[in-house]
Amino acid sequence: MRILSLAGRRLAASLPSLVIILIGVFLLLQLAPGDAVDALIAQMGGGGDAAAMRAALGLDQSVAAQLAQYLWRLVRFDLGFSTIYGKPVATVIFERLPATLLLMTASLSFAFFFGLLFGVIAARRVNSWPDTVISTLGLLFYATPSFWFGLMAIVLFAVHLQWLPAGGYESIGDGLTGLARVLDIAMHFVLPTLTLGLIFLAIYLRIMRASMLEVLTLDFVRTARAKGLDETRVVIRHVLRNAMLPMVTLIGLQAGTMLGGSVVVESVFSLPGLGRLAYEAVVQRDLNTLLGIVFISALLVILVNFLVDLVYARLDPRIAGR
């Protein structure tokens, strides 16, 4: 229960920052020259009555009035209407959410699991050849821009080997259902997951390695060994559990970063996710959609951090006790 109240307090504290972020984004986008109608006319290639379009979208009102209207709508859980898509923002976002959630969950799990595994191996064999190989690869993954990695993966696996699809969310118009569809989507997500996951894997690997090395030198490990426990039990029961704490913290932090990083990966792999939607919204000056995405992403990050708090308390009972 203590942990719930802690999380609840965290949640309450994040609400004001959410409002500040929304107002900030709103005002920032006002600074960019041009509005949704300019973007629309750019798409049309000219002609058309800009003043009438502006009036129809409510863009002829003052910035303060538009902001007030937006916040008032938000209080009533109405995200407004998207000017580029001609649909309610909530609908647009929920259409895009599955791809992003799938990509984020898959990449985070991939990065976390292999980061942990390789981190442990590297720490156990510190300064020997497995450590060198793993650390070098990690550095390489970290330094490689994700768009380049993604494009190279497409060239190799989709264009030359033809093992995996080059992009998209699923096969179009094949009418797949059930398990076949799940497999089809999974195939489409292999390359994007690797692309987005590898950078994060490199970070997890470094953190895990460092954290393991630190914990391995602590007194309680020496005690455990002195008790006569075999090395595997020492690593799993004593070292791993303590070394995992920074890793879990990192997940909470990276949930937000990943939304940003997914813009590139979603573009390269033509995935209909939130990242690309956010980019489109900025380019098209679609304020409602952009603010809706910021709002939903903020909720997502708050949720992930809430879950991280729970896991944290489970791993280290002292935290809930405080």
Partner 1 sequence: MDLSRRAAMLTSAAIAASVNFPEAALAQETPRRGGTMTVHFATEQRILNPSLQASTGVYIVGGKIQEPLVDLNAQGVPSPCLATAWESTPDGKTITFRLRQGVTWHDGRPFTSADVQFTAMEMWKKILNYGTALQQFLEAVETPDAHTAVFKYSQPMPLNLLLRALPDLGYISAKHVYEGTDIRQNPANTAPMGTGPFKFVQYERGQFIIAERNPNYWRENLPYLDRVVWRVITDRSAAAAQMEAGQILYSPFSSLALADLTRLGRDPRFEVTTRGNEGNARTNTLEFNQRNPILADLRVRRALAHALNIPFFIENFLGDYAKLGTGPIPSTSADFYPTGMPQYGFDRAAANRLLDEAGHRRGAGGVRFTLRLNPAPWGEDIALFTTFIQQSLQEVGVRVEVVRLDAAGFLRTVYNDHNFDLATGWHQYRNDPAVSTTVWYRSGSPRGAPWTNQFGVTDAELDTIIDSAATELDPVRRKARYADFVRRANTELMLWMPIEQIFLSAFSRRLRNHANTPRWGSSSWHDLWLAN
Sites of contact with partner 1 (CB under 8 A): 32-36, 38-51, 56, 83-86, 92, 95-96, 99, 151, 154-155, 158-159, 162, 165-169, 172-173, 267-273, 276-277, 280, 283-285
Residue whose CB is less far from partner 1, 242 or 262: 262
Tokens of 211: 């954290």
Residue whose CB is less far from partner 1, 206 or 276: 276
Residue whose CB is less far from partner 1, 130 or 272: 272
Nearest one of 141, 156, 163, 149 to 265, comparing CA atoms: 149
Shortest approach of partner 1 to residue 169 CB, angstroms?
6
8 Å CB contact between 79 and 68: no
Shortest approach of partner 1 to residue 147 CB, angstroms?
8
Residue whose CB is less far from partner 1, 250 or 278: 278
Tokens of 312: 């944290």
Residue whose CB is less far from partner 1, 96 or 238: 96
Q: Render 139-188 in DSSP notation, one character per residue.
A: HHHHHS-HHHHHHHHIIIIIIIS--S-SS-SS-TTS---HHHHHHHHHHH
Residue whose CB is less far from partner 1, 127 or 177: 177
Shortest approach of partner 1 to residue 303 CB, angstroms?
23
Q: Note the residue count of the chain.
A: 322
Shortest approach of partner 1 to residue 294 CB, angstroms?
18
Amino acid at 6: L
Q: Which segments of the chain does DSSP mark as H helices, in order?
A: 2-31, 36-44, 50-57, 63-75, 89-124, 129-143, 146-153, 178-216, 219-226, 231-233, 241-268, 274-283, 287-315, 317-321
| Gap between the terminal Cα atoms of the chain | 12
Shortest approach of partner 1 to residue 312 CB, angstroms?
35
Shortest approach of partner 1 to residue 50 CB, angstroms?
5
